[in-house]
Structure 1
Amino acid sequence: MTRDSSQQPPVFKGKVQDTGTTFAAPADQSLFASMRQAGIDWPVSCRNGTCRTCIGRLVEGQVAYDIPWPGLSLEEKRDGYCLPCIARPMGDIVIQRT
């Protein structure tokens, strides 16, 4: 089955709460990749969800991960923390640096 090329993934709105900077956040790429494309300086190292350098807190919105268990504890996930290097937006998001 081939994908209809006219059917693009949704693009959500992202915002860095600390600076008010906004960015386009396509559903099919990581938040970090989207922020980087927008020229936003966000710390990152491993880019696979293990080092936690990129950790941030979602003030609004939800994300999904392609890996079953990113490097976050249950409490951190419950409190809204995410790893932007591997987190994909599921809607509009507002993220805060930690």
Structure 2
Amino acid sequence: MTDSRFQVRIEPAGITFTVSPAETLLEAALSAGVDFPHRCRQGVCTSCVCRLKSGEVRYDEPSPLSPADIEQKFVYGCQAFADSDLVLHHPFIRP
């Protein structure tokens, strides 16, 4: 069994890193040396929230997303797992 890895691109910084389906976006970003904002790692503080530009993510149940989060395409990096290649927007991540 091979470990599928997906590519994640963070805009507008243009940073890319890979993530396995078993690790959160935050875990993968930090492992790749990306200065990804975070504090609580529980989906509460919203420091890691990005906007989904393309791709698909999933969450363990219960999902931290409210109906408003879903409508605005918010992604909680500390809780989200990639199900495809992703393009995310986070204005405070810098190269």
> In which range does the TM-score fall when normalised by the shorter chain?
0.7 to 0.9
Does structure 1 residue 16 correspond to structure 2 residue 30?
A: no
Does structure 1 residue 44 correspond to structure 2 residue 11?
A: no
Deviation (angstroms), 1:8: 3.5
Q: Distance in 2 between matches of 1:57 and 1:91?
A: 15
Write out aligned runs for 1:1-98 (5 A).
7-70=1-64, 72-98=65-91
* TM-score, normalised via structure 1 length: 0.85
Listed as ranges, the gaps of 5+ residues in structure 1 are 1-6
Deviation (angstroms), 1:73: 2.1
Q: Distance in 2 between matches of 1:33 and 1:25?
A: 8
Report if the CA contact (8 A) 1:49-1:86 is conserved.
yes
Cα RMSD, aligned residues only: 1.3
Q: Share of identical aligned residues, percent?
A: 31
Q: Which stretches of structure 1, 4 residues or more, deviate above 3 A after TM superposition?
A: none
* TM-score, normalised via structure 2 length: 0.87
| Count of matched residue pairs | 91
Paired residue type of 1:93? L
Larger radius of gyration: 1
